[in-house]
Amino acid sequence: MKRLVGILLVLGTALLGTTWVYGQSTLEVCPTCSLTSLKTAIAQANPHDKILVNGGSYTEGTILVDKPLTLEGLNQPILDGEGKVEILTITASDVTVRGFTFQNAGISHTADQAALKTLEVENCLIENNTFLNNFFAIYLGKTKHCQVLHNTVKAHATSESFSGNAVHLWDCSEIVVKDNYLSGQRDGVYLEFVKDSLIENNISEANLRYGLHFMYSNNNIFRNNRFRANGAGVAVMYSKNIEMTQNHFEDNWGSAIYGLLLKEINDSRLYNNVFHDNSVGIYVDGANRTDISFNDFSHNGYALRILSSSMGVTIAHNNFYGNSFDVTTNANRSYNAFLENYWEAYQGYDLNHDGFGDVPYRPVRLFALTVENYPQTMILMRSPLEQFMDYAERILPIFTPKAIEDDRPLMRRVLW
Amino acid sequence: MILSHPQTTLEPRAKRRSALKSALKVMKYGFFDLLRSRWIIIYTLFFLAVTSGLLYFGGDANQAVLSTLNLVLLVVPLISLVLGLSYYYYTRDFVELILTQPIGRSSVFLGHFSGLALPLVAAFLLGSGLPFLLAGVRQGADWRVIASLMVAGTLVSLIFSALAFWIGLLNEERVKALGIALGVWLGMTMIYDGLLLLFSILMQAYPIERSLIILSLFNPIDLSRILVLLQLDTAALMGYTGAVFQRYFGSNLGILASLGSLLIWTGLPVYLGLRSFKRKNF
């Protein structure tokens, strides 16, 4: 509830910020206008004026926006950093940037140079911009009440040290990042010390490192995003009260690459997500009191790897099908609950037709446990021996952890 | 009685051609004889029913491939061995009769063997290949996966029917031969893998990935499984171990080596069978 109020506050104030237009006048900048420089226009403008940039390409070094203004681009004017400098730095609150193409913000190893950077501001709106080939694209530092909507970020980064993040949030709160396309940067969305924010409807794909990466960021919502084919999948760490719903994690391939890595994530909820075609669907390394429910795990190498450092994780009403291994763990004990999931590999029966299998299901197979302890035995995968081992273990379970057991496995897929 | 072949005065090339002709003729008899036998029809229908059932009820083509792979690894060797042996004993009289004719022993053996192996391969390809062609592709199965499965099934059929012939040739007694065949089947499907498992557990402290790869070359069932596995379970094969296997078996060299090894596996029992056939005193 508190979070919802927070989000409403964000939306409300941001709306207020953009519509507050008393005594506004408009300055026009274009290659043939009297004003041909964005810098001059900003210098001449009064607070809350609107600067309309109509076409053209502007290479003016770093442009500083130090008063509340609306910068609007018509016909996609280009702001170029020539591979040297930061392009737009916003140090005033109530700034709107809309309709520009930012390109070639310079790479720097000493400063986080971005195409668009806000520092210690409130109420900004960044929408409908295109970011091409920048070091960092959108960088919000110590910013509050800001919206990043409908932007397209594309780059062709080849090395992590020569590339920044598409959307980089540092020490922010109440930010909305929505409907953006983020690709080819280091991380798609990066959050550090960010709270009460909403990341929604974004597509983050083919980034060098993570599609989404956050640390020390509590009380955030990630909804309906698509994370595809990123260098190392998605990693979320050291945060609590996170809500991840309706996201798609797809095509994240390779060793040490995960659909989703949960590292020290507490009191969080993951609902209605789809994990498809990843080498590991979710790698849970130390999650506590977290609810993983109504998700789809399909065609992953490992659907769920849950390490013994996790406690109180509830895995309920999920669908597991077409995975090479459904669940693996590294210990004999488990303090997590598996409830009423659909397991394609379940071979029990349902005599009373209540929709739940009458025999408990143990998703950790003996062979999976063997592979976990002796990785070389992977060469025996899908062999008759593997089936024999699993069958023997089903009849006489002695090796597989008793705690990881679904007492009421579903007979049919969960529809959600 | 050892048959002495009448000396022919044909040119070497014509001789070879006539040998091939005779082999084909012998094969033709075997082939049609076997096609008329109900076992091969049951075998085909069995595959047809199981594969279509898996595709129809499973809904997922890759899942059906996996289940069919299990059949290929367990049922195909067993049927090839048992059917091969019973065919061998059943046709002994016919072979002895043929040997009284002026035909070289190699032609008789090769014709006889292909007369068994080709229907078996055909039954497998028809029984499991047809449903995949009709339904699997539509359900989004990867053609590479299906192709590797077909190659694996074909080679396994060839290898184990050749082994059946060889075992039959070495043993006059049917029951003993059947016992040996079952032993070979169990050894290759289960016991060998069990030893590999034991080996990996005992040697866990050492980097034994390469040794495992080499050891797997000595078992055609393991080899054909790995061939399919590399197309199918790539996601699970990540991590260091998986990467080693993938790098080896996924590379052109690896594929060539595995296929080459499977071909040697096919050739060796055929050669050994041929040798005993030539030396055998019928």
- Which residue, A242, A235, A238, is CA-closest to A259? A235
Contact at CB, A383 and B73, closer than 8 angstroms:
yes
Q: Is A162 helix (H, G, I), strand (E, B) or coil?
A: helix
- Residue B1 located in a structural domain: no
The whole-angstrom distance between residue B131's C-alpha and the CA centroid of its chain comes to 21
Containing H/E element for A260? strand A258-266
Q: Report how far residue A203's alpha carbon sits from residue A228's, in angstroms, rounded to the nearest whole number.
A: 8
* Partner B contacted by A277 (CB < 8 A): yes
State the smallest CA–CA distance between residue A364 and chain B in angstroms.
Answer: 15
Q: Which residue in B221, B235, B241 is closest to A375 by CB distance? A: B241
pLDDT tens for each residue of B160-186: 999 999 999 999 899 999 999 999 999
Say which DSSP state A372 is in: H
State the smallest CA–CA distance between residue B142 and chain A in angstroms.
Answer: 13
* Partner B contacted by A397 (CB < 8 A): no
Number of domains in chain B: 1
Chain B neighbors of A301, CB-CB under 8 A: 233-238
Contact at CB, B242 and A378, closer than 8 angstroms:
yes
Rg (Cα) of chain A, in Å, rounded?
25
* Partner A contacted by B194 (CB < 8 A): yes
Chain A neighbors of B189, CB-CB under 8 A: 384-385
- Residue B206 located in a structural domain: yes
Average pLDDT per 10 consecutive residues for chain A, totaling 416 residues: 57 49 78 92 94 94 94 94 94 96 92 94 96 95 96 90 92 96 95 96 94 95 95 92 96 86 95 93 94 94 91 95 89 88 91 92 88 86 88 82 87 89
* Partner A contacted by B229 (CB < 8 A): yes
User: Which of B63, B189, B190, B200 would you mutate first to test chain A, the one with the most A CBs within 10 A?
Assistant: B200
What's the full length of chain A, in residues?
416
- Residue B91 located in a structural domain: yes
Chain B neighbors of A377, CB-CB under 8 A: 196-197, 200-201
CB A236 within 8 A of CB A258: no
Which residue is closest to A281 within chain B, CA to CA? B235
* Partner A contacted by B238 (CB < 8 A): yes
Which residue is closest to A254 within chain B, CA to CA? B238
- Residue B8 located in a structural domain: no
CB A148 within 8 A of CB A128: no
Query: What is the structure's pLDDT at B31?
Result: 74
Chain B neighbors of A383, CB-CB under 8 A: 73, 193, 221-222, 225
Query: What is the structure's pLDDT at A105?
Result: 93
* Partner A contacted by B41 (CB < 8 A): no
Look at B143 and A274; give whichever has higher pLDDT: A274
Query: What is the structure's pLDDT at A208?
Result: 93
Burial of A398 (C-beta count, 10 Å sphere; 0-12/13-18/19+): exposed
* Partner B contacted by A23 (CB < 8 A): no
* Partner B contacted by A46 (CB < 8 A): no
In Å, how far are A42, A52, A60 from A37, measured between CA atoms? 9, 11, 8
CA atoms within 13 A on the CB side of A9: 14
Residue in this structure with the two tokens 């009440």, named with its chain if needed:
A145
Q: Which residue in A301, A377, A380 is closest to B238 by CB distance? A: A301
Residue A396, C-beta contacts closer than 8 angstroms, at least 6 positions apart? none
Residue B95 CB neighbour total at 10 angstroms: 17
Contact at CB, B196 and A381, closer than 8 angstroms:
no
- Residue B76 located in a structural domain: yes
User: Which of B65, B72, B193 would you mutate first to test chain A, the one with the most A CBs within 10 A?
Assistant: B193
Containing H/E element for A314? strand A311-316
User: Which of A296, A342, A376, A413 would you mutate first to test chain B, the one with the most B CBs within 10 A?
Assistant: A376
pLDDT tens for each residue of B12-25: 777 777 777 877 87
Q: Report how far residue A200's alpha carbon sits from residue A223's, in angstroms, rounded to the nearest whole number.
A: 5
φ and ψ of A66, to 5 deg: -115, 15
* Partner B contacted by A412 (CB < 8 A): no
Which residue is closest to B71 within chain A, CA to CA? A384
* Partner B contacted by A348 (CB < 8 A): no
Which residue is closest to A259 within chain B, CA to CA? B235
CB B213 within 8 A of CB B180: no
Q: Which residue in A302, A324, A387 is closest to B70 by CB distance? A: A387
Chain B neighbors of A279, CB-CB under 8 A: 235-236, 238
B47-54, long-range: CB < 8 A, 24+ apart = B47/B71, B47/B123, B47/B124, B47/B126, B47/B127, B47/B128, B48/B126, B48/B127, B48/B128, B48/B130, B48/B131, B50/B128, B51/B127, B51/B128, B51/B130, B51/B131, B51/B132, B52/B131, B52/B135
Chain A neighbors of B245, CB-CB under 8 A: 378-379
Residue in this structure with the two tokens 């990785």, named with its chain if needed:
A375
Contact at CB, A377 and B229, closer than 8 angstroms:
no
Query: What is the structure's pLDDT at B9?
Result: 53
Which residue is closest to B226 within chain A, CA to CA? A379
Query: What is the structure's pLDDT at A2?
Result: 59
State yes or no: pLDDT of B137 exceeds 70.
no
- Residue B225 located in a structural domain: yes
Q: How many contacts, defined by CB atoms under 8 Å, are there between A and B?
A: 103
In Å, how far are A210, B2, B76, B205, B274 from B278, measured between CA atoms? 66, 10, 28, 49, 6
**DSSP line for A318-334:** -EEES-SEEEE-SSS--
CB A310 within 8 A of CB A284: yes
Task: For chain A, list the domains and their CATH numbers.
Answer: 1-228 (2.160.20.10), 232-364+401-416 (no CATH)
Look at A372 and B235; give whichever has higher pLDDT: A372
* Partner A contacted by B193 (CB < 8 A): yes
Tokens of B221: 């069932």
- Residue B12 located in a structural domain: no
- Which residue, A211, A238, A232, A207, is CA-closest to A222? A211
CA atoms within 13 A on the CB side of A373: 16
Query: What is the structure's pLDDT at B254?
Result: 76
Tokens of B9: 């005065």
Query: What is the structure's pLDDT at B100?
Result: 86
Q: Report how far residue B193's alpha carbon sits from residue B201's, in angstroms, rounded to the nearest whole number.
A: 12
Q: Which residue in A256, A381, A384 is closest to B236 by CB distance? A: A381
Query: What is the structure's pLDDT at A126?
Result: 96
Query: What is the structure's pLDDT at B147?
Result: 87
Chain B neighbors of A325, CB-CB under 8 A: 236
Contact at CB, B197 and A380, closer than 8 angstroms:
yes
Q: Which residue in B60, B212, B235 is closest to A277 by CB distance? A: B235
State yes or no: pLDDT of B58 exceeds 80.
no
Which residue is closest to B187 within chain A, CA to CA? A385
Query: What is the structure's pLDDT at A17?
Result: 44
- Listed range (A401-405, B191-195, B257-261) with the worst mean pLDDT: A401-405
- Residue B11 located in a structural domain: no
SS (H, E, C) chain B: CCCCCCCCCCCHHHHHHHHHHHHHHHHHHHHHHHHHCHHHHHHHHHHHHHHHHHHHHHCCHHHHHHHHHHHHHHHHHHHHHHHHHHHHHHCHHHHHHHHCCCCCHHHHHHHHHHHHHHHHHHHHHHHHHHHHHHHHCCCCCCHHHHHHHHHHHHHHHHHHHHHHHHHHHHCCCHHHHHHHHHHHHHHHHHHHHHHHHHHHHHCCCCCCHHHHHHHHCCCHHHHHHHHHHHHHCHHHHCHHHHHHHHHHHHCHHHHHHHHHHHHHHHHHHHHHHHHHHHHCCC
Containing H/E element for A303? strand A302-306
Whether the CA torsion B174, B176, B177, B179 is positive or negative: it is positive
Contact at CB, A374 and B200, closer than 8 angstroms:
yes
- Which residue, A73, A23, A30, A31, is CA-closest to A48? A23
State the smallest CA–CA distance between residue B220 and chain A in angstroms.
Answer: 12
Which residue is closest to B205 within chain A, CA to CA? A374
* Partner A contacted by B230 (CB < 8 A): no
CB A351 within 8 A of CB A340: no
Chain A neighbors of B211, CB-CB under 8 A: none
Chain A neighbors of B225, CB-CB under 8 A: 382-383
φ and ψ of A227, to 5 deg: -110, 110
Which residue is closest to B63 within chain A, CA to CA? A322
Residue ranges making up the domain that contains B245? 19-279
Mean pLDDT of B89-95: 87
State the smallest CA–CA distance between residue A232 and chain B in angstroms.
Answer: 13
Residue in this structure with the two tokens 């507050």, named with its chain if needed:
A20
